[in-house]
Structure 1
Amino acid sequence: MTEPTHDEAHGGALGSRLNWLRAAVLGANDGIVSTAGLVVGVAGATQSRSALLTAGLAGLLAGSMSMAAGEYVSVSTQRDSEMAALAVERRELREQPEAELLELTELLAERGLSREVAREAAEQLTARDALRAHARVELGIDPDELTNPWNAAWASFLSFTVGALLPLLAIVLPPAGWRLPVTVASVLGALVLTGWSSARLGAAAPRRAVVRNVAGGALAMGVTYAAGTLLGATGV
C-alpha cells in the first residue's frame, strides 16, 4: 500500500519560504505597474526613445531603491522587536523560572493538552531549551530564524527590478508605432501571471486576483497615458 499524500504545507520553514515567494511576486508586480504607468505616461507626451529610456530607467532605480530601503527599515524594526521580546523572556526565565514554567504549562493546556500532559511537556521543553520553548509557544518566534533585514532588502530590490525591466524593454525596443501596444499587451500578460501566482501561493481562487491585478494595471496605464497626452498636447 502506498502512503497517502497531503497537499497541505507543514512546518514553519515552508511557511517562511512561501511568505518570501509572495513578497517577491508582489515586489515584481509593483515594479511592473509603477514602471508601466511611468513609461506609458511619457509615451503619451513624446515618442522620443531617449526620453522613454531615461524615464523608465529612473523609475526602475528609484522604485527598486525605495522598495529596498522601505523593506530594510520595516524588517529591521520587526527584528528589533523580536530581539527585545527574547531579551525580556530571557530575563524572566533567569529571575522567575517557576512562574515561567507555570506560564508555559498554561499555554500548552490552552492548546488542548490535559493539565498533567501539559505540565510534563512544559518540563521537558524547559529542560531541553527553555528560551526556545517560550519563544515558540508564547511569542510565536523561532530564535534560530529571526527576520533578516538585508535579505528582505535585496529580495525587494531584485523582484522590483525584474518586474520593472519588462515595461522598460517593451517601450524602448519595438519601432515607434508598436511601442504602446507591445507594452500594454506585455504588461497585462505579466499581471495575469503575477495575479495568478500570488493567488496560488495564498491558496486562493486565482480568477478574482487576476481580474483585480489586470484592472488595476490597466487603470494605472490609462490614467498616466491620458495625463501624458494632455500635457503633450498643451506643450508642457
Structure 2
Amino acid sequence: MSDAKPDPGSEPGHDTEPHSPGHASRLNWLRAGVLGANDGIVSVAALVVGVAAATSDSGAILIAGVASLLAGAISMALGEYVSVSSQRDTERALIGKERTELATMPEQELAELAGLYQAKGLSPETARRVADELTAHDALGAHLEVELHIGTEELSNPWHAAFASAIAFTVGAILPLLAVLLPPPQWRVPVTFLAVAVALIITGWVSAALGDSPRMRAIGRVLIGGLLALGVTYAIGGLLGTSV
C-alpha cells in the first residue's frame, strides 16, 4: 500500500476551483459584460416601448432605438475608458513608487514584507524566510501582490474595457430593437415585454452563476427592475401619444 499523498490538484473539487491569478479578474470582466448587456436590454427596451406606445410609425421607433443604442454604447465605452484609465494611472504610480523604495531602501522594504506576512499569521522566522526567498525571486512582484494586491502583468486596459462595454451594451440592445420592429404593430409591445423578460432572466442567472450567489434573488432583482422601467415608459408614452 503506497504512503504517497495524493496530488492536491487531483482531489475532488480541485479541478473546478480557481487557482490562476487572473481568475478573479476574468470573472469581473464577464460579470461586467453581463451587466453591460443588461443595461442595453433595459435602456433601449424602455425607450422603444415608450415610443411604440405613442406612435405606430416604424420609422420613428427605428430612429429612436438606433439612436438609443449608439448613444448608450458610446456613453458606456467612454465611461469605462475614463474609469479604467484613472485606475491604470493609479496602479502605475503605485508600481513606480514601490520600485523606487526597493531601490533606495531595500532593507526597510524587506522588513516591511516580512511584517506583512507575519500579520497574516506566520511566525517571525517563517515570515522572514518567505520574504527573503520572494525578494530574491521577484522583489517588486512580491510587494505588489502582498502590499498593494496588484500585478505588473495584470494592469487594467482602458481600451479593452471600453470595447467590451460597448459590445456588451450593443448585444443587449439589439434584442429589444428587433422585438419591437419585427412583429405586427399590435404585437410589438407584448412581444418586447416577453423578450425582455426572458433576456433579463438569462442575464440575472448568468450574473449570479458567475458570482456563485443565489440565482432566484438575482433574477428577481433584474426582472422586476427592468419590467418596471418598461411599464413606466410605456405609460408615459401612452399619455404623450394621446395628448398630442
Quote how far apart the aligned CAs of 1:8 are: 3.3
* SS of equivalent residue, structure 1 residue 188: helix
Quote how far apart the aligned CAs of 1:11 are: 2.9
Q: Which residue identity does 2:106 align to in structure 1? A: P
CA distance in 2 between counterparts of 1:66 and 1:201 reads 25
Q: Which residue identity does 2:204 align to in structure 1? A: G
2:101 to 92, 96, 101: 92
CA distance in 1 between counterparts of 2:217 and 2:142 reads 40
Is the counterpart of residue 45 in structure 1 residue 54 in structure 2? yes
CA distance in 2 between counterparts of 1:204 and 1:64 reads 28
Structure 2, unmatched stretches of 5+, are: 1-5
* SS of equivalent residue, structure 1 residue 143: coil
Equivalent residue, structure 2, for 1:23? 32
Equivalent residue, structure 2, for 1:5? 13
CA distance in 2 between counterparts of 1:8 and 1:194 reads 23
Is the counterpart of residue 214 in structure 1 residue 223 in structure 2? yes
* SS of equivalent residue, structure 2 residue 56: coil
Equivalent residue, structure 2, for 1:132? 141
Equivalent residue, structure 1, for 2:64? 55
CA distance in 2 between counterparts of 1:206 and 1:9 reads 20
Equivalent residue, structure 1, for 2:196? 187
Quote how far apart the aligned CAs of 1:13 are: 1.2
Q: What do residues 143-174 of structure 1 show as CA deviations (whole Å, max 9, x unaligned)?
A: 11100000000000000000000000111111
Q: What do residues 76-115 of structure 1 show as CA deviations (whole Å, max 9, x unaligned)?
A: 0000000000111011111111000000000011112111
CA distance in 1 between counterparts of 2:100 and 2:22 reads 27
2:168 to 149, 159, 163: 159
Equivalent residue, structure 1, for 2:113? 104
> TM-score when scaled to structure 1?
0.97
CA distance in 2 between counterparts of 1:139 and 1:172 reads 50
> TM-score when scaled to structure 2?
0.94
* SS of equivalent residue, structure 2 residue 51: helix
Equivalent residue, structure 2, for 1:172? 181
CA distance in 2 between counterparts of 1:5 and 1:153 reads 35
Structure 1, unmatched stretches of 5+, are: none
CA distance in 2 between counterparts of 1:3 and 1:103 reads 36
Is the counterpart of residue 32 in structure 1 residue 32 in structure 2? no
* SS of equivalent residue, structure 2 residue 212: coil
Equivalent residue, structure 1, for 2:3? none
Equivalent residue, structure 1, for 2:73? 64
Quote how far apart the aligned CAs of 1:3 are: 3.5
Q: Which residue identity does 1:5 align to in structure 2? A: G
CA distance in 1 between counterparts of 2:227 and 2:136 reads 58
Moved over 4 A (4+): none
Quote how far apart the aligned CAs of 1:4 are: 1.9
